[in-house]
Structure formats: C-alpha cells, structure tokens
Amino acid sequence: MSNKLIIGMFGFGVVGQGLYDIIKTKKLNLEIKKFVIKNADKKRSLPAELFTTDAEAILGDTEINTVVELIDDAEAAFEITKRALKSGKNVVSANKKMIATHLEELAEIQQEYGTSLLYEGAVCGSIPIIRNLEEYYDNELLHSVSGIFNGSSNYILSKIFNENQSYDTALRKAQELGFAETDPTLDVGGYDPKYKLAIVASHAYGIYVDPETILNLGIDKLGEQDIRFAKEKGFKIKLLPLAKEIDPNQVVLYVLPKFIHSDNILFNVENENNGVLVKAAFADEQFFYGKGAGGHPTGSAVLSDITALRYGYRYEYKKHLDAGQIAYNTDYQLKVYFRYAEEETLSQLQFNSISERFYGENFKYVIGEINLNEIINKRAIIHQTGNFLAEIL
C-alpha cells in the first residue's frame, strides 16, 4: 500500500509546469499543497492561492511530507534541500549543480535523519540512468559510462551537421525553443554535462568528486574550419562526458567535444535527445536513449521519483560501501585535434607526439597524443579565442 504524499514545490518553470501537466492526467495518491515561486507578479495557470514567495509556507508546514525542488539557484536549492531532509521531509530535485557539488554531505544527512533525496530528473532528462546504476548495475563492474548528457548542445550540433546551419543560427534556434538559456554557457561550455558526470560517477563507481576538479571544454569555440574538417573526414562532433576505469582502482572523468565516426552508436543521437552508453564486464555494452531536454521529459523523471517515494524508496549508495580504494585520476593519454591561431600557443603545450600537422593562412591544426593533466593545466591557453580542442575517437 502506498503512502499519501503531501507535496510542496519550489519553482514553477518549464519543468514544474511539465510535471504538473503530467500529474493532473493521472490518479495518484498525492496532493500538491503549495508552490513557492520567486516572481509573485507573474501570471500563473493555477489559482493564485496556491502560490507564495515565502519558503516557510512549505518548510514550516508539518503536513507537507515531500518537497519537490525545481529552482535554478544551486546554493538556494541546497539550503532548501538540507533543511527539508533534516526536518523529516523527503526531497525530489532536478538541480544537477546542487547535487553534484553537495552530494557527499546530502548522502550523510539522509543517513542520519532517515530521509530520502531522489534526483533522476537531474541527469539526462527522461532516461532512468541513476536508478539503473543503483539497481541493475549494483554488483556490476563497469568499464565506462559515457554519452550525450546535454540536449541543448546536441541540438546545436545536429543543426550544424545535418542542416548546414551556422553555430550562431543553431544556438539562436535552441534558445527560441527553450533548450538553451539566454546565457548558454552552462550548456555549450560543458558545465551542465560535467555536473551530471559527477553524479553518474558517484553511482557507477562509488566515488564523490568535486565537479570543479573535472575538466570541461565545450563547443563554444567551435569554428567553421573545425566543422569542415569533421565533414571531410566523415566525422560528427558530439559533446561527450566520460567516466572510465583506467586501472582496477582508478577512474578518469572529463567532458570534451569529440570527433566520432558513423560506427559509434552515439553518431545518430540527434537534436535534444540524449544517449547513455554503459560498458560493463558482465552485461557487456548497453545503450539508453531518450529525450534530454524539455518540461515533459524531465517532468516524467521527477514524477518517477515522486511515485517511488510513496513506497519508501531511497538510494542505498551500495557502491560507496566498497569503494574505499577507488580514486579519481587525471593521468590519462588522449588523442586530440587542436586548432590554434598563434604558433606561440602551440609551443606552450607539451604534446607527447604529433601525428599530423596542417599549416594554412587561416587554419592551423595538429593531431597528437597529449596527457589529460596537460590539458587541465593549460586550459586557459587552450580555451583562448581562436583555439578549439576535441578528442578523436
């Protein structure tokens, strides 16, 4: 028998509206009692008495047993989540930055207070990757988890490679559709998939990694020469995070644009869709595909967490119990394409080897082997205007 949930929701934006649209079509043992929003003057589709700007209307209400957190501010979301968990309320969140940054502390709070924080909607929209890593792969040895974790950047790249749109045109269209924000840096700069990668790594390998220590280079420096190079070689460019076991007790994590061939299963994951590729010792290779952006896809993941709470579900963090010897390592060799503007820039990078070099009047690049640590240490140089680096798979 399920427990009735009395819900207080923080935020009523795209995901909040999408979640509400789904809930009202179903007969569920739950009630949304109050919404806390930031802008009291904004016109809403629900009765005004349901909305307030006072967080105490939810956090101080003993009848509300479940908090759904769907706001943009990561630090405010953390304070809401922490207080709710400590007061005996379960929480469902879709805030990937908040969770990635504070996951270890939040896991400890859940253990101490016997509450549950679920966050399927924070990673890859409608794809149930967290639940699968927790349950299906709980005793599995995972070689790697990678894929397309960001629907906004994937939409932009799809328009560039499939419809020959310019980067600027594709970005504007993504913004018009609500896939990308007015300031798109979180998506096109690779920050969004980095936060998601930190969460995935926690459930895949049982490690807590500060997302600020994970390398992320995005597609915001992508140029026409890079697109032409990719098409001539039969590549597409995708923005791909990777969590990979490089030794029995070592895991590497990073987010980079990557050139991929048509034989890669991610080659045909297009538009706002996401794809997660799991390579395991016993289950072999498995692929998850679904919508990665939009109110209804993410809302469906949030609702899945809400309904799971009716039956007392919580993450057990099983792999953390056996992960005492697993460490995050950045000593890893990559094959990369590096397009640069000035010779001085190239001279400041320590490549282990260079297999191809092109020098033209308006287009210079090298292809070679380089250590991940070198990219991390020279990130500021690599990310200067006029430079673009991508891994070659």
Half-sphere exposure of 259 (CA within 13 A, CB side): 22
Neighbouring residues of 189: CB distance < 8 A, sequence distance ≥ 6:
216, 218, 220
Give the count of beta carbons closer than 10 Å to the beta carbon of residue 359: 9
- Cα–Cα distance between 363 and 33 in angstroms, integer? 59
How many CB atoms within 10 Å of residue 6?
Answer: 17
Rounded Cα distance between 66 and 50, Å, is 16
Per the listing, tokens 């191809």 go with: 356
Q: Are 149 and 127 in contact (CB under 8 A)?
A: no
Report the C-alpha gap between 265 and 268 in whole angstroms.
7
**What is the C-alpha to C-alpha distance for residues 350 and 357, in angstroms, rounded to an integer?**
15
Ranges of H-type helices in 257-332: 295-309, 318-321
Residues 6+ apart with CB under 8 A from 243: 144, 145, 146, 197, 200, 201, 204, 205, 251, 252, 253
Q: For residues 277-311, b (16+ Cβ closer than 10 Å) or e, as one string?
A: bbbbeeeeeeebbbbbbbbbbbbbbbbbbbbbbbe
Give dist(CA 145, CA 11) in Å, integer: 31
Active-site residue (options: 96, 196, 238, 319): 196
Residue 258 annotated among the catalytic residues of the structure? no
Distance (Å, whole) CA 49 – CA 217: 45
CB 144 within 8 A of CB 279: yes
* Catalytic residue set: 196
